[in-house]
Structure 1
Amino acid sequence: MTNRLIERVSHAGGRPIPDAATGEIIGHTREDSAAALEAMISRGVAAQRSWAALSPHARGMTLHAAAAKVAEYAEELADAVSREQGKPLNGPGARLEVEACQRWLHTNADLELAPEVLVDDAENYSELIYRPVGLVGAIGPWNWPLMIMIWQIAPALKIGNAVIVKPSEYTPLSVQALVSVLNEVLPDGVLQVVVGGPEVGAALPAHPAFGKIMFTGSTRTGKAIIKASAQNVTRLTLELGGNDAGIVLPGTDVRKHAENLFWGAFINTGQTCAALKRLYVHESQYDETVAALAEIANATPMGRGVDEESLLGPLQNRMQFAVVERLVEDAKARGRRIVTGGDPAPELGPNFFRATIVADAEDGDPLVDEEQFGPVLPVIRYADLEDAIARANRLDAALGASVWSDDAQRAREVALRLEAGTVWINKHGGIHPLVPFGGIKGSGYGLEFGFEGLKATGVPVVITSR
């Protein structure tokens, strides 16, 4: 199909953007200069004043209209992200991503932050309110380029900010397409997109005009943002890298949970920050679990994202492909057992790597200790639950974790001891627009989603009288 949104934002003479699955050029992106960013900042600062002057209800109605526009263009947005990012249209893929954009817009549109009364007695009346920070810089990743950008855009707009988004240089066209759709209903200048490489992204946290920077991506880049923003004491929300652990408790009906275990790890072909990336299984059920996961991996169709039957797609770029290949080759060299997969699938395209289950992995293996961010799951055997909990908690990455058991009370007891921003029971990676989400330790700080996420895009102010 001809994608009119890609055609709308494609820039003749700009940098070519390939289809992640085939390498064919799907469009060309502009590359913005420092002067272009300064002009956007000026427009955003001016537009923010009148946007903030509207009532929260009026801003919410505009966000509902924006969600309706996303629905109107849903198939073209899904096609754009499927081609550019590589994720399949179906399953937990591109269509789901576009649906999530609508859901987060609608949810944030309806959130209202009423003044919070802190003290009300004869001597003191104090209340907490939230004001917009002014201009928000939103820096997004390439794995869920539309959905994660909406996570940042929706609350920032609802509270009365203007937003300048900076997409990954790997997935700029789909984000420009999304912004163009939203801007069919938003006031001019309230939402803009700046496009370019790392130097453009670095300019946002260093600029004093931004009251808030929101970033989803690697811990290394997150640390650079902290350093760049320090001079301006800019407020930050950072959702950084994850290396999520899961623990299967003894006595669990593994076959019942196998499908959820698999998709907890392989959603978006493993390219998800809060995916299951290392699985600890009790020795009494180890072989059964490995066999069940391998069976699903072998039965799950992999192919080009726009092919309706595909449920797994390619790695988005050659850089990430090289990371996955290196980690799997290292596992082979260490004598780890490749149960299924373990090599590229060049017959499908240049960036495809087969869904891979690695058994007999050990803590200390690069495949276990590093975030693979691809279609590979190492499965680690344990004998003692205390040891498994300690091993799950030993890394600095602490975005998510999961416990798998048919004993709800026992699962909760273990969940309370895992060090992660979110701990799931009998699922992994599921999110809700009203449930706060964020990392701890090296996986960042600050919360997104719901009332906590809305507050994070504002400035808290205490008003005291009497």
Structure 2
Amino acid sequence: MTAFAMTIDGQPITPSETFDVINPATGGLAGKCPAGSAEDVNAAVAAAKAAFDEWSQQSDETRRQACRDMARVLGENAEELARLLTTEQGKPLGGLGSRFELGGCQAWAANTAELELPVEVVKDDNEGRIEIHRKPLGVVASITPWNWPLMIAIWHIAPAIRAGNTVVIKPSPYTPLSTLRMVEILNTVLPAGVLNAVTGPDSIGPVLTSHPDVAKVTFTGSTETGKKVMANAAGTLKRLTLELGGNDAGIVLPDTDPKQVAEGIFWGAFINSGQTCACMKRLYVHDSIYDEVCTALVDFASRIPMGDGMDENNVLGPVQNAMQFEKVRELVEDAKANGARVLLGGEAPQGDGYFYPITLLADVTDGMRIVDEEQFGPVLPIIRYTDVEDALTRANSSSMGLGGSVWSKNIDDAAALALRLESGSAWVNSHGGLHPNAPFGGVKQSGIGTEFGVDGLKEFTAIQTLHR
């Protein structure tokens, strides 16, 4: 079995203690991960702090080239990383799975390389000149989740390094192996100490997020954990970017052709087996086409194969871990007990792995847990409405506000309604698509700060105003 190591100051570190990482498709062992300690976190932060002095002074072109080099080596090692990712995360190799994720890693690193933060001149006259300079912050702590572990890591790492910061990353203990290997690969093109990785139980996370030598924390994960990260960072007033949970709503307007939108709605809800913060988690459908939309979704979804991601024929994989599997099962059972009608799925099969079938639920109402809570799995509740304004009110009733979508033949009307959604991102006739140059972030309890593009890059800098 492959031996995995943490990376601190460019060197492999292998603590004597390890923990098991489970393959969610089989229930077997994906690998053994180093169990780092608070001392390892301190060493990684010290290495990053020491490297920051020199890295922050490097030219803009040097940092730009570093991101280009990261994109290149990610491409050169994409198949190895994709297979490791599938083994520990469960998503299929093909389709919108692990190879797709590695493609996203390359695209974001390459795009970040070309971003620029020029000096802004706000005044230049006979009274003087005022310039706005953007400077790196210092050590950035990156805490990443288990659903898109590599792509989200690059979302954190690339802009931090491009802006002149150094990084210590701690991946989820459910999916640490691919991140460890990726950091090892990236260290072949980065100076020692610029990018460090520590792994271990959740208990070492607060050591990192409260560390006095960490200038910024960027975290992607659940809202409840995000609140804890924020509390840990408060003692030293660290900068924060928090991309947290979502309970995204889609609204299907009465002029929509159910057969034309079924595929788009399906992938908006079920990409990565529904384990995506910006997946559609609630679908509001006008009463006049409700039954037709349900039929069209069942027809499309019933043809999607689910199974072990190493089988190239499978399109969706398992729920990633036992805890999440039980939450999905519990929410579906609660919905069934409260009158939901199962159109497809609804019962976990016997056998190995954390497979929960594609599940479509009709006759669901607001107030059911499956609507009010983020299920984060392969389940879509379909909710009937008769008045568009009422549907909008219900869509906006969530404490979360990551994304939302409107579906209609009339693009202008749909866009006007989408702009009234209380969400950081809104889509028309699609859901969840992201672009490296399009700012991404949540409102309400879906997060703080912005990722991607120039706006996301600015989050890794401090403003210094120069009067001369």
What TM-score range do you get, normalising by the shorter chain?
over 0.9
Q: Determine which of 238, 246, 251 is the counterpart of 2:255.
A: 251
Q: Give secondary structure in 1 for the equivalent of 2:108.
A: helix
Q: Determine which of 412, 416, 421 is the counterpart of 2:415.
A: 412
**Structure 1 residue 384 and structure 2 residue 387: aligned?**
yes
Q: Give secondary structure in 2 for the equivalent of 1:325.
A: helix
The offset of 1:3, in angstroms, is: 7.0
The offset of 1:412, in angstroms, is: 1.1
The offset of 1:198, in angstroms, is: 1.7
The offset of 1:125, in angstroms, is: 2.2
The offset of 1:9, in angstroms, is: 9.3
The offset of 1:6, in angstroms, is: 9.4
**Structure 1 residue 56 and structure 2 residue 87: aligned?**
no
Which whole-Å CA distance do the structure 2 matches of 1:281 and 1:6 have between them? 49
Q: Determine which of 201, 205, 210 is the counterpart of 2:209.
A: 205
Which whole-Å CA distance do the structure 2 matches of 1:161 and 1:182 have between them? 15
**Structure 1 residue 444 and structure 2 residue 447: aligned?**
yes
1:102 alignment partner in structure 2: 106
Return the TM-score normalized by structure 2: 0.96
Q: Determine which of 161, 174, 177 is the counterpart of 2:178.
A: 174
Which whole-Å CA distance do the structure 1 matches of 2:208 and 2:376 have between them? 26
Q: Which amino acid aligns with 1:171?
A: T
Which whole-Å CA distance do the structure 2 matches of 1:330 and 1:11 have between them? 43
Q: Which amino acid aligns with 1:138?
A: S
Alpha-carbon contact 2:21-2:173 (below 8 Å) kept: no
The offset of 1:12, in angstroms, is: 7.6
Q: Determine which of 114, 135, 156 is the counterpart of 1:131.
A: 135
1:355 alignment partner in structure 2: 358
Which whole-Å CA distance do the structure 2 matches of 1:464 and 1:402 have between them? 45
Deviations 1:91-150 (A, max 9, x none): 111101001000111011111110112223332422211100010000000000000010
1:17 alignment partner in structure 2: 21
Q: Give secondary structure in 2 for the equivalent of 1:26.
A: strand
Deviations 1:42-67 (A, max 9, x none): 11111111111111111111221111
Mapping 1:251-400, distance limit 5 Å = 251-347=255-351, 349-400=352-403
Q: Give secondary structure in 1 for the equivalent of 2:214.
A: coil
Q: Which amino acid aligns with 2:302?
A: N
Q: Which amino acid aligns with 1:356?
A: T
Q: Determine which of 179, 186, 190 is the counterpart of 1:186.
A: 190
Distance 1:5 1:105, change over 3 A: farther
Q: Which amino acid aligns with 1:27?
A: G
Q: Give secondary structure in 2 for the equivalent of 1:299.
A: coil
Deviations 1:276-333 (A, max 9, x none): 0000000111011111111121100000011101111000000000000000000110
Q: Give secondary structure in 1 for the equivalent of 2:392.
A: helix
The offset of 1:436, in angstroms, is: 0.5
The offset of 1:16, in angstroms, is: 1.5
Report the number of matched residues: 463
Q: Give secondary structure in 2 for the equivalent of 1:117.
A: strand
Q: Which amino acid aligns with 1:297?
A: A
Moved more, 370-379 or 180-189: 180-189
The offset of 1:192, in angstroms, is: 0.5
Alpha-carbon contact 1:166-1:193 (below 8 Å) kept: yes
Alpha-carbon contact 2:17-2:35 (below 8 Å) kept: no
Q: Determine which of 212, 218, 228 is the counterpart of 1:214.
A: 218
Alpha-carbon contact 1:163-1:192 (below 8 Å) kept: yes
Which whole-Å CA distance do the structure 1 matches of 2:3 and 2:293 have between them? 45
The offset of 1:172, in angstroms, is: 0.8
Q: Which amino acid aligns with 1:233?
A: L
Q: Determine which of 208, 221, 229 is the counterpart of 2:233.
A: 229
Structure 1, unaligned runs of 5 or more:
none
Q: Give secondary structure in 1 for the equivalent of 2:56.
A: helix
Alpha-carbon contact 2:66-2:189 (below 8 Å) kept: yes
Alpha-carbon contact 2:147-2:276 (below 8 Å) kept: yes
Alpha-carbon contact 1:17-1:27 (below 8 Å) kept: yes
Mapping 1:104-119, distance limit 5 Å = 104-119=108-123
Return the TM-score normalized by structure 1: 0.97
Which whole-Å CA distance do the structure 2 matches of 1:80 and 1:222 have between them? 27
Q: Which amino acid aligns with 1:433?
A: P
Q: Give secondary structure in 2 for the equivalent of 1:232.
A: coil
The offset of 1:13, in angstroms, is: 5.8
Q: Give secondary structure in 1 for the equivalent of 2:91.
A: coil
Q: Which amino acid aligns with 1:241?
A: G
**What root-mean-square deviation, in Å, do the aligned CA atoms of Structure 1 and Structure 2 show?**
1.6
Which whole-Å CA distance do the structure 2 matches of 1:404 and 1:3 have between them? 47
Structure 2, unaligned runs of 5 or more:
7-11
The offset of 1:426, in angstroms, is: 0.7
Which whole-Å CA distance do the structure 1 matches of 2:317 and 2:231 have between them? 36
Which whole-Å CA distance do the structure 1 matches of 2:85 and 2:363 have between them? 36
Q: Which amino acid aligns with 2:162?
A: K
1:433 alignment partner in structure 2: 436
Q: Which amino acid aligns with 1:219?
A: T
Which whole-Å CA distance do the structure 2 matches of 1:237 and 1:11 have between them? 30
Moved over 3 A (4+): 2-13
1:83 alignment partner in structure 2: 87
